[in-house]
Structure 1
């Protein structure tokens, strides 16, 4: 990966398919959330209920690429 100074971050959600989308399965979503936020991610769509046994939250990395934390 490299920094692209003229990069325009994608919109989410967008009708145009993304080049890549990662679903990252974690054991402790609260700890994983704190970690990705501390690394510069921002939350795009929170889970309806984080206590559910199955769920996901959508984030964007610092360059704007969307990814999910799943549990």
Structure 2
């Protein structure tokens, strides 16, 4: 099951954004990582079998405050 996880990550600088993207990309099962939102403060992760809780824990540990906004299944078209 392919899923889309959207998280709000407290990123104060470009270095923090880069670090958050690297941590998310290194997670098991991730196919796509990107930033969304007006101030690029939302991290979007798309992948198969990604554990959202473990990913959030890793981001909190290495980057800072992280909250899960949404978790949805991606429909194959």
Q: TM (normalized to structure 1)?
A: 0.38
> Could you say which structure has the greater relative contact order, defined with CA pairs below 8 angstroms and 6 or more residues apart?
2
More helix by share: 2
More strand by share: 2
Q: TM (normalized to structure 2)?
A: 0.36
